[in-house]
Amino acid sequence: MIERQKRRRVTIIGAGLSGLGVAVELADLGWQVRIFERSPHAGGRCRSYFDSTLKRTIDNGNHMLLSGNLCAERYLNKINARHTFYSPFRCDYPFEDLLTGDRWIVSPDKGPVPWSLLRSKNRVPGARLKNYLAAFRLAFAKDKDCVADCLDTDSALFRKLWEPLTVSILNTQAADGQARILWRVLKQTFFKGADACRPMIAKVGLSESLVDPALNTLMDKGAEIHFSENLKSIQFAGLKARSLHISGKTLQLDDDEQLVLAVTPDVVKSLLPSITVPDQSRSIINVHFVLPKSAAFGDEAPPRYIGLVGGLSHWLFVRGDVASITISAAEVLMDMPKEKLASTLWREICIVLRLGNEALGKWKIIREKRATFACTPLQCALRPDTKTAYENVTIAGDWTNTGLPATMEGALKSSHKVVSLLEK
């Protein structure tokens, strides 16, 4: 009689996007998977929920994927959720300058060579061709270089394109953000042409697209998923983790069991004191508004998005009758009174959507003080690798050394690094 091969076992701490990414990959490879999450829900920052004030389902934070995000594409295919994202037929990024009223559309060419920029009408207002070509200085940036060190900060192109892209991608100001990481993102997306940078937005919500399908996939494969379970400490013997202290209980690890820590850097530091992690963060503010009936989109209408410069807002997303503003690297606004912030942002929405003096309705502010690690050269140097000093402990998260900023793609790339290491 042929003896059945024993399934390898993994315990994952954290059910954010990186933890779910590890779980989905390993479950698909036949591993026994169990997850412990300290909150009552999965998804971390990438989730949606029903808000009692707005009486609407909203995302905890607004997120956009790009078609060139290959790790995200793989994840969506594995959980059968690619169809839950909207992607426009044309690869267009509309922008508006709230100071001047200028409107323009950034439309990457089909191929990697941007021939259309030879015509001035296809450029950002006030930008010259040499300003675009200067972006290739990012390719030669050193680890210590910031974005503003490589580009002409006085140019119209910097103010109307490079700066807003830097802030939204790195969640760090161009004067502080590492140039090499921005280059890696641009190289994988915008500099490959339209097919690699087509925007992808969840049709309903982040949980419906990224979290719920993953949980369903995992449960179908027999995974254990435990919520409201907080890991307090790890007991080690030699170079191996042997047991976990979780919510007042002790959980023994099998001899060949792997432990994946897919949690925030401060939590990993508390569990593994000798490890080096980024210790500075950047904030994000998301504000959601219920639109008047005259301005609302139908439920079947595709999501709308527009980049903004010249005001407080960075991106405006409209889905149904909810308009959502995202402000990245928002440290200077964290202490602004809520009512003042909401009214200021509503005036900007009224300008963009041509609502005139429409009165402010229901709104909800979500401030994330430590949304991502600070993507500066010094903090990037502190990002740890997936492998730790312990034989059966690995770490995952968008803050680890993925070569990408703290984005959904970065989180899922960290998952792939963990799986590649465990499958060796």
Could you give the CA distance from residue 320 to residue 348 in angstroms, rounded to a whole number?
A: 19
| pLDDT on residue 227 | 98
Domain segments of the chain as ranges: 9-49+59-65+205-279+376-422, 93-197, 281-373
- pLDDT values of the chain reduced to their tens digit, one per residue, 424 residues: 334 457 899 999 999 999 999 999 999 999 999 999 999 999 998 999 999 999 999 999 888 999 999 999 999 999 999 999 999 988 999 999 999 999 999 999 999 899 999 999 999 999 999 999 999 999 999 999 999 999 999 999 999 999 999 999 999 999 999 999 999 999 999 999 999 999 999 999 999 999 999 999 999 999 999 999 999 999 999 999 999 999 999 999 999 999 999 999 999 999 999 999 999 999 999 999 999 987 766 667 788 999 999 999 999 999 999 999 999 999 999 999 999 999 999 999 999 999 999 999 999 999 999 999 999 999 999 999 999 999 999 999 999 999 999 999 999 999 999 999 999 8
- Return the CATH number of the domain spanning residue range 9-49+59-65+205-279+376-422: 3.50.50.60
| pLDDT on residue 4 | 46
| Domain 281-373 listed as CATH 3.90.660.10 | yes
| pLDDT on residue 5 | 59
386-410 burial: b if 16+ Cβ within 10 Å, else e: bebeeebbbbbbbbbebebbbbbbb
What torsion do the CA atoms of 212, 217, 218, 219 make, to the nearest 10 degrees?
Answer: 90
Could you give the CA distance from residue 343 to residue 328 in angstroms, rounded to a whole number?
A: 18
| pLDDT on residue 1 | 36
| pLDDT on residue 107 | 94
What is the CA 297 to chain-centroid distance, rounded? 25
| pLDDT on residue 61 | 87
Backbone phi and psi for residue 365, each to the nearest 5 degrees, phi listed first = -105, 130
Question: Where does residue 195 fall: left (phi above 0), alpha (psi -120 to 50 degrees), or beta otherwise?
Answer: alpha
Closest CA to 375 of 149, 181, 151: 181
Topology alike, domains 9-49+59-65+205-279+376-422 and 281-373: no
